[in-house]
Structure 1
Amino acid sequence: MEITTGQKLGVGFGSFGIFFILLGVLLLFDKGLLAIGNLFCLAGLSCCMGLEKTFAFFVQPERKLGSAAFLGGILVLLAGYPFIGMIIEAYGFVKLFGGLIPMAISFFRQVPVISLLLALPGISEFCDSITNKS
């Protein structure tokens, strides 16, 4: 499978987005950094999947609540309430991508350094409860 230039650009945008979101959270929910991070993440997702597939993903009937919460959280963040906006966004993110979390945990359990962290007593039981629910 060939990785296109647009997909490489999308991964770069997504990485910048995650960096800016983490920096915004570390700087006590700086609304400018969080907004830039959200825009970079959306641009990265659009570049990786393509505009049509991204739009189709967000408007699927079973994902409408998650899409509304995620995009509404971005709007609340841009309106000047970063903490509330991030909570709403997190809820929307879980509603949108919640089905992928058990698969991500299974993948991260095979990554050398992260697998050690996931094997710690409290974290291991939490991850087991998440992966056994699905």
Structure 2
Amino acid sequence: MVSFEMNDRKKIGLGLTGFGIFFSFLGIIFFFDKGLLAMGNILFISGVTLTIGLKSTMQFFMKPQNFKGTISFGVGFFFVVVGWPIFGMILETYGFVVLFSGFWPTLAVFLQRIPILGWLFQQPYVRSVCSVSKSSKFSF
């Protein structure tokens, strides 16, 4: 059974995940700075681990249907650390999309419920794009 209560560990995990996304964004903005990208990756992975727990994280990354995404994300992280940040980020982006492709419909529903931003996501063109993406599965 999944617990939806917010304890301090989950709050810290969400904060670390947010900082990981922020540092990765800064790393891209600053012309693929490998230090910021590596720090963003470490914060993101540790935040996800704290948020959902170590066992759930390992189960998520080790599912057979997630192997492509896990390997791609890991190899991309390696290339970022080694010094090839552009190639590493391309691999990481592919891995991220493959790993989290099941969450996009949930994210679309969540974005439609945000008061001001939700209006934009409820427009006919945006809804048609979201419905096409929900019906088509990523076939990487």
Task: State the TM-score, normalized to the length of structure 1.
Answer: 0.90
Partner of 2:10: 7
User: In structure 2, how many angstroms separate the alpha carbons of the residues matched to 1:28 and 1:119?
Assistant: 34
1:127 to 130, 136, 140: 130
User: In structure 2, how many angstroms separate the alpha carbons of the residues matched to 1:4 and 1:81?
Assistant: 38
Partner of 1:50: 53
User: In structure 1, how many angstroms separate the alpha carbons of the residues matched to 2:134 and 2:117?
Assistant: 16
User: In structure 1, how many angstroms separate the alpha carbons of the residues matched to 2:21 and 2:59?
Assistant: 23
Matches of residues 19-98 of structure 1 in structure 2 within 5 Å? 19-98=22-101
Q: CA deviation at 1:51?
A: 1.2
Q: CA deviation at 1:40?
A: 0.2
User: In structure 2, how many angstroms separate the alpha carbons of the residues matched to 1:129 and 1:42?
Assistant: 30
**2:16 corresponds to 1:16:** no
Seen in structure 2, the aligned counterparts of structure 1 residues 25 and 46 have a Cα distance that, compared at 3 Å, is same
CA RMSD of aligned residues (A): 1.7
Note the residue ranges of structure 2 that are not aligned, 5 or more in a row. none
Between Structure 1 and Structure 2, the one with more helix by share is 1
Partner of 1:110: 113
Q: For each residue in 1:14-66, what CA deviation from the matched residue of structure 2 results, as whole angstroms up to 9, or x when unmatched?
A: 11111101111111111110110000000001101111211121111111111
Q: For each residue in 1:75-125, what CA deviation from the matched residue of structure 2 results, as whole angstroms up to 9, or x when unmatched?
A: 111111111111111111111110110121121112122223324565444
Q: CA deviation at 1:126?
A: 2.4
1:37 alignment partner AA: G
The alignment of Structure 1 onto Structure 2 pairs a total of residues equal to 134
Task: State the TM-score, normalized to the length of structure 2.
Answer: 0.86
Contact persistence 1:67–1:96 (CA under 8 A): yes
